[in-house]
Amino acid sequence: MPKRTDINKILVIGSGPIIIGQAAEFDYAGTQACQALKEEGYQVVLANSNPATIMTDETMADEIYMEPLTPEFLTKIIRKEQPDAILPTLGGQTGLNMAMELDRRGILEEYQVEILGTKLSAIEQAEDRDSFRSLMYELNEPVPESEIVQSIDEALDFANSIGYPVIIRPAYTMGGTGGGICETEQELIEIVRNGLDASPVNQCLIEKSIAGFKEIEYEVMRDGEDHAIVVCNMENIDPVGIHTGDSIVVAPSQTLSDREYQMLRNVSLRIIKALQIEGGCNVQLALDPYSFDYYVIEVNPRVSRSSALASKATGYPIARIAAKIAVGLTLDEMINPVTGSTYSHFEPALDYVVTKIPRWPFDKFHAANRKLGTQMKATGEVMGIGRTFEESLLKSVRSLEICTNDLYLPNVESISMETLMIRLKTADDERLFLIAEAFRRGFTLEDVHQYTEIDLFFCIN
């Protein structure tokens, strides 16, 4: 289908300031989107409150509003600019939440602004834990046993019925803010209280813990004609239990056989088609390392941090293509800008391995709790490309700029055996170096695997 000619002016909502849990990746996506829309000849109006990004550079859009990203200011912008359409799915959670709020307040209807890309109803279906679960039941896709609670008492009741440990996930938050894993009632009370506060709708999901499963992500794209592809899959080295933003991630997956890969690929495509996403989407899955059992953990119905990684890892410009899908183009008619000759309806085949390591700010925040869990603590990430896993991992380590070129940190060498074992188990930002230290001290592969539940393949290398 050719691009739409009934719209001229498009408002793009950026992601605002860079905060923990919402990193610069969204600027990358938003910038690509603005360029893509301009390339197709549309007038682009950009709203972003962050002056420190290339996205608010004069050349990126036709009109730039560096105003706070609140419904009030956005309403003013809409009133002044009278855009035909709004593209909210490329500015992270902030952009999405704004579009939903504007819709709720009737602003979009009042000024006849159409929402491009994925429909808000689909976004709500993916983000609202309850309707998402119903959809998964409908598709016959397994999700971990869970319940939505609005009070601490409800949370306690449910946790007692399914048994600890359980995971708390507050609804509509970024980077898992306010969530966590709890082993005891005490922890549950504390985390649920925080979680209910953090959630704009005062909802938390209490979920059976599937910690120890392999965490696999698929980056999927779909256009308005129901063509859908997988751009890339990724495997978290740290098993389920640690937020993907805080996990070392490799692309493509390393320990999945073709059957496992295709099974999860089919699941991801079924979900994106059922949600009728138009653009990019990230599907997170948990796979039992000892069987074909899997669970769908979560779906991000927008361009996300993982898409930025997948995009850089494969060279496939997800945000750019997503923006063009939003204005009506389809995957099989867009030329792949990387090859210049083939089409965007394509699943990249890599001949290298990509490793991402998160960069934590604990060298600046000495007092912070370094323990990693379901709430993201990293503020950045580095990526290394190599022809072997070792090469890409070590390249990433060097890029971390933490004064080491190897899997060696001086302070790790001096810790006691007992501390080493405890820290291997609990996972913190120096885990990678602790593992290397454990091997130097003669730990076997099985020992390390037992403590960390990291797949043997990664331990070996």
Partner 1 sequence: MNYMSNRYLILEDGSVFQGKAFGAPVQEKFGEVVFNTGMTGYQETLSDPSYCDQFVVMTYPLIGNYGINRDDFETITPSISGLIVKQATEYPSNFRKEWSLNDYFKQKNIPGLSDIDTRRLVKTIRERGTMKGVMVDSIENLSEIESNLNDFTYRNDQVKRVSTVKPYVVPGKGERIVLVDFGMKHGILKEFTERHCHVTVVPYNTSSDEILQLKPDGVMLSNGPGNPKDVQEGIDLVKGLMGKVPVFGICLGHQLIALACGADTHKMKFGHRGGNHPVKDLRTKEVWMTSQNHGYAVTPESLGQTSLTITQTALNDGTIEGLEHEQYDMFSVQYHPEASPGPQDSNQLFDLFLSRINGGIIHA
Residues in the site for partner 1, rule: CB under 8 A?
225-227, 229-230, 252-259, 261-262, 265-266, 289-291, 331-332, 341-343, 345-353, 387-389, 445, 455-457, 460
For residues 39 and 293, which CB has a smaller minimum distance to partner 1 in the complex?
293
For residue 178, give the 3-state DSSP assignment. Answer: coil
Q: And the tokens for 457? A: 């393949």
Rounded Cα gap, residues 178 and 198, in angstroms: 6
Assess contact for 296 and 142: CB atoms under 8 A.
yes
Closest contact distance (angstroms) between CB of 239 and partner 1 is 13
Q: What is the DSSP-derived secondary structure letter of residue 277?
A: -
Rounded Cα gap, residues 57 and 22, in angstroms: 20
Q: In which element (H, E) is residue 332 found?
A: none
Closest contact distance (angstroms) between CB of 312 and partner 1 is 17
Closest contact distance (angstroms) between CB of 281 and partner 1 is 16
Closest contact distance (angstroms) between CB of 258 and partner 1 is 3
For residues 73 and 261, which CB has a smaller minimum distance to partner 1 in the complex?
261
Closest contact distance (angstroms) between CB of 456 and partner 1 is 4
Residues 6+ apart with CB under 8 A from 86: 10, 11, 12, 13, 78, 99, 102, 108, 113, 114, 115, 116
Closest contact distance (angstroms) between CB of 261 and partner 1 is 4
Amino acid at position 144, single letter: P
For residues 74 and 383, which CB has a smaller minimum distance to partner 1 in the complex?
383
For residues 389 and 443, which CB has a smaller minimum distance to partner 1 in the complex?
389
For residues 160 and 257, which CB has a smaller minimum distance to partner 1 in the complex?
257
**Degrees, nearest 5: CA angle 60-61-64:** 110
DSSP 93-139: HHHHHHHHHHHHTTHHHHTTPEEPSS-HHHHHHHHSHHHHHHHHHHH
For residues 206 and 353, which CB has a smaller minimum distance to partner 1 in the complex?
353
Closest contact distance (angstroms) between CB of 231 and partner 1 is 11
For residues 164 and 352, which CB has a smaller minimum distance to partner 1 in the complex?
352
Q: What is the DSSP-derived secondary structure letter of residue 53?
A: S
ω before 165 within 30° of 0 (cis)?
yes
